[in-house]
Amino acid sequence: MNIENTKAQMKKGVLEFCILSILSNGENYPSEIIEKMKTAKLIVVEGTLYPLLMRLKNDGLLSYRWEESTSGPPRKYYKLTPVGEQFLKELDITWKELVEAVNKTTNPSTPANQ
């Protein structure tokens, strides 16, 4: 049992939310997503991101188009589908509820209401 493992566990489910959020601001290809996550201090590696994008695409939340690159192989630019946008809204609520629930549990001295 160590902090690193717990951090990894805490990230589960949250990555999905972050990726959809990033794509809601416009098209991105995987390496860009990794960069943006890193900027926000959320380290994600290829082995995590690619399967996740594949899953989101297969579930109809994302679509992509190929685009040639002048500096390497072609890139897959992903974007949200209407279903993805709807799902993102629900995830946003879910995340806020989780944060509030955790705060209630960990700060019982400062109840939110009552």
Partner DNA sequence: TTTAGTACTATGTGATACAAGGTACTACTT
Partner DNA sequence: AAGTAGTACCTTGTATCACATAGTACTAAA
Which parts of this chain interact with DNA (CB under 7 A)? 1, 5-9, 11-16, 29-31, 43-48, 50-55, 69-76
**In this structure, are residues 64 and 85 in contact, taking their beta carbons and an 8 Å threshold?**
no
Q: How far is the CB of 74 from its own copies (least distance, A)?
A: 26
Task: Report CA 31 to chain centroid distance, whole Å.
Answer: 14
Task: Report how far residue 59's alpha carbon sits from residue 56's, in angstroms, rounded to the nearest whole number.
Answer: 5
Q: Choose the binding region for its own copies from 12-20, 46-54, 65-73, 74-82 (rule: CB under 8 A).
A: 12-20
Give whichever of 43 and 66 is closer to its own copies, judged by the CB atom: 43
| Binding flags for its own copies, 72-101, as an x/- string (CB under 8 A) | ---------------x--xxx-xx-xxxxx
Other beta carbons less than 10 A from residue 95's beta carbon:
15
